[in-house]
Structure 1
């Protein structure tokens, strides 16, 4: 069976990746590339199928890595076109392979190119340093994310149930009374053009964004944000779309905040659902929990900085758990954050390299997990774990 291609994993170290900085519009450039357009178009010099595996030679180099999803176009036979998950990458990044099961051994013809595939979103409305994004999936909630990227160090984000223009929307989350101007997304500690690290992990209905905005404190410490449809507890929940962010401009602060999406905290934080579960009214506040632990008002902990021992005593294991999202007013479980796993164990700082692959987790056998530090990683082992095998739903 061909590998799933619904999950896309992007980061700033990929050749041709857009630059995130403390300048207006830079976050929109990143989101355009990852969610909508893809990036790093490369001409394919040859595409050869042998034994059910296609080998592409890209003389000028490419931006793929093992697990990346590339979009191939212009090839004959047509079965070689479309989204393909990269199986291997050759030395010098001039070759890559992908599954070609069912296609006879041959050398493809045509003017062939490939690029990193976008995640399947559309950019519905635009303005000067403004953008509104929406999932293209017919199964999605249909909610929009409006991004105001007109300030250098931060962006302001609001979800809407519907929009008709870049500044015209219905049923915002958060509302004006909850957070006037929208929740804050952090880009850079300094309003300049210096590049900052970033990570986007997405499917066609939700995405996670990490920005490594402040290197003063060392390590890859940064902010962690989310927008999109949860995996709902009730099938057909049309309003289980969530937006996380920060209550204020934290670009000048040290990394590490209770509103990081990888935090467990029963607090009235910056996490909003499109509607409450009875589907009446508007924006509903929410909180996050790791199901192996019970949160309390006095407990807030980051993934990787929990009370459980590491390695787990009986089996020396690493254990990961989904991120559950609860509606605050009713204290009810609305769904699970897609693709994200959190660790309730107390992990040593530096246990995993940024972007490292974990081939097997004790309770997630058969799933490839990639790990990324976030938050105040020089003093706290805050680590987010992403399922890159897919699908998330």
Structure 2
């Protein structure tokens, strides 16, 4: 069976990746490239199929790494076109391979190119350093993410149930009463063109963004999210969530209750499009993940829980889903897809940013990418399933 290609993993270290900085429009450039357009177009010198595996030679080099999803176009036979998950990468990034099951051994013809594929979102509306993004999946809630990137160090984000223009929409979450101007997404400590590392993981309905915005803390960062949950109730049309920060934290050290990988029984910066009753507008939510041992704490970041690491009997690493609860009713609305947390106490430096692990002890046969969260002064990590699909 061909590998799933619905999950896309990007980071600022990829050749040709857009630069995130403290300048207006920089975040939109990252979101455009990763969610919508893809990036790093490369001409393919040859594309050869042998034994059900296609090998692309890119003389000038390409930007993909193992596990990346590339979009191939211009090839004959047509079965070689479309999204492909990269199996191997050759020295100097001049070759890559992908599954070509069912295609006879041959050398493809045509003017062939490839690029890192976008995550399948649509840029529904735009303005000067303004953008509104919407899932391209017809099964999605159809809520939109409006990004106001006119500032330098931060952007302001609001979810909408519907929009008819870049500054006209209905059903905002948060509302202007809950958070005037929207929640904050942090880009940089300074309003200049200094590049800041970032990681973006998405499928075509949910996106997670981590920005290493503070150069004093290069081993962590702020983690934000927007998109559809995997709801507990089938057909929940309003189970779209937006997370961010309650204020401009660009001058502060990373790490607080609003980090998306932190469970906290507090009113954090987390909003759902509507309550589960579907009556009324924006509903405040909170995050939680199961604890495998009792704990009196209500605020725990993934990797700083009460369960020992490694687990004694099997030396195991155990991961849990990130559950989203509606605050007023303490009602479980759903699971945030693709992201996993741990209730274990992990040591500082256990994983480097972007580390790939083949599986956790209770999550077998799933490739996971590790992303440090917070200031990087403790073993706080979020884990992202890059095998897919998330739903």
Q: Answer yes or no: same fold by TM over 0.5.
A: yes
Match of 2:389 in 1: 391
Gap regions ≥5 residues in structure 2: none
CA contact under 8 A between 1:200 and 1:209: conserved in structure 2? yes
* C-alpha separation in 1, matches of 2:25 and 2:382: 26
Match of 1:111 in 2: 111
| Helix, strand or coil at the partner of 2:382 | strand
> Could you tell me the TM-score, scaled by structure 1's length?
0.98
* C-alpha separation in 1, matches of 2:178 and 2:294: 23
Q: CA deviation at 1:381?
A: 1.1
| Helix, strand or coil at the partner of 2:97 | strand
> Could you tell me the TM-score, scaled by structure 2's length?
0.99
Query: Which stretch of the first structure deviates more once superposed, 298-307 or 174-183?
Result: 298-307
Which digits, 9 at most, give the CA deviation of each residue in 1:183-220, with x for residues without a partner?
00000011110100001000000010000000213x32
Match of 1:314 in 2: 313
Gap regions ≥5 residues in structure 1: none
Q: CA deviation at 1:295?
A: 9.7
Match of 1:175 in 2: 175
CA contact under 8 A between 2:47 and 2:108: conserved in structure 1? yes
Match of 1:382 in 2: 380
* C-alpha separation in 2, matches of 1:372 and 1:158: 25
* C-alpha separation in 2, matches of 1:18 and 1:299: 38
Correspondences of 1:1-393 after superposition (within 5 Å) = 1-217=1-217, 219-292=218-291, 299-377=298-376, 379-393=377-391
Moved over 3 A (4+): 293-298
| Helix, strand or coil at the partner of 1:34 | helix
* C-alpha separation in 2, matches of 1:41 and 1:34: 13
CA contact under 8 A between 1:4 and 1:85: conserved in structure 2? yes
CA contact under 8 A between 2:3 and 2:85: conserved in structure 1? yes
* C-alpha separation in 1, matches of 2:128 and 2:154: 15
Q: CA deviation at 1:343?
A: 0.8
User: What RMSD, in angstroms, separates the aligned Cα atoms of the two structures?
Assistant: 1.1
* C-alpha separation in 2, matches of 1:270 and 1:152: 21
Task: Tell me the number of residue pairs that the alignment of Structure 1 and Structure 2 aligns.
Answer: 391
CA contact under 8 A between 1:201 and 1:207: conserved in structure 2? yes
CA contact under 8 A between 1:266 and 1:295: conserved in structure 2? no
